Amino acid sequence: MPWLRISEAGERLYYALHRAEGTRAEVVLVHGAGGSHVHWPVALRRLPEATVYALDLPGHGRSEGEGRRSIGAYRDVVRAFLEAAGLEKAVLVGHSMGGAIALEVALRYPNRLRGLVLVGSGARLRVAPALLRGLQEDYPRAVEQLVQWLFAEGAPERFRRAARQQLLEANPQVVYGDFLACDAFDVMQELPRVETPTLVICGTADVMTPLKYSEYLAAHIPGARLEVVPGGGHMVMLEQPEPVARAVSAFLRSVG
């Protein structure tokens, strides 16, 4: 299993790896709050035109270490991962909180990126106070609420079962810390400084990061393009992997 050590304290991160022969595109997938690399479907983890690293952030999935409580701290984790993996110019694909992390990398370390893909994300990710309280006071009940919000109404029930199991097996304090980090995140005024070619993807049925969030990203990041997936929920890449993968593949070709 692939692991990379990213800190002097010995913190090791797990990642799923797909190597494509004869290509130069290197893609890093960054999951959302409380997630792991399994939130990315095979269609994205095995893009035929790219070498793909699907990362587990610290304290998530199979990775060691502790979860962070700010997007800036996760940004530095991703930069350390790029360094450790020897990736000089990567395309970052981030979902939800992962999109916030990718945006922070683009703003702070633009020379490390070839492209940026933001899936179901936003320039500001405020979290309902009731959800933050619930994650601390009644975690199982908060998980049930999250599971209802994650998917579009017609999504297969197996997606909800898998999400429920994954969240219940996660460390509640890590999940709480992720949502705290999201709640404090706000780069709305900084978007015009993003220099990295950007693709924004969102489903029309996303209730956690509604389409207007992605429209704002596309309108304020110079040259950004918006791809709308009809009927897609917050986990649009799991619900409708083929159109999302096609959009990402076309984007990779456009950035060389």
Tell me the pTM: 0.96
What would the pLDDT profile of 7-27 be if each residue is shown by its tens digit? 655 789 999 999 887 767 899
Give the model's pLDDT for residue 32. 98
CA dihedral (50, 53, 54, 56) in degrees, to 10, reads -170
Tokens of 107: 């703003």
What pLDDT is stored for residue 1 in this prediction? 57
**Residue 158 burial by Cβ neighbours in a 10 Å radius (0-12, 13-18, 19+):** exposed
Element (DSSP H or E) covering residue 140: helix 139-150
| The two three-digit tokens of residue 241, written as one number | 């992997």
Question: Look-up: residue for tokens 């593949």?
Answer: 249
State yes or no: pLDDT of 3 exceeds 60. Answer: yes
Long-range Cβ contacts of 1-7 (<8 Å, 24+ apart): 1/62, 4/81, 4/84, 4/85, 5/84, 6/77, 6/80, 6/81, 6/83, 6/84, 7/65, 7/80
Beta-bridge partners for 202:
228
Backbone φ, ψ for residue 3 (5° rounding): -135, 150
Nearest to 68 by CA among 130, 142, 2, 13: 13
Percentage above 70 pLDDT, the chain: 98
Fold entry, domain 3-254 = Rossmann fold (3.40.50)
Domain ranges of the chain: 3-254
Over residues 108-163, the pLDDT tens digits come to 999 999 999 999 999 999 999 999 999 999 999 999 999 999 999 989 999 999 99
pLDDT of residue 107: 98
What is the total residue count of the chain? 256
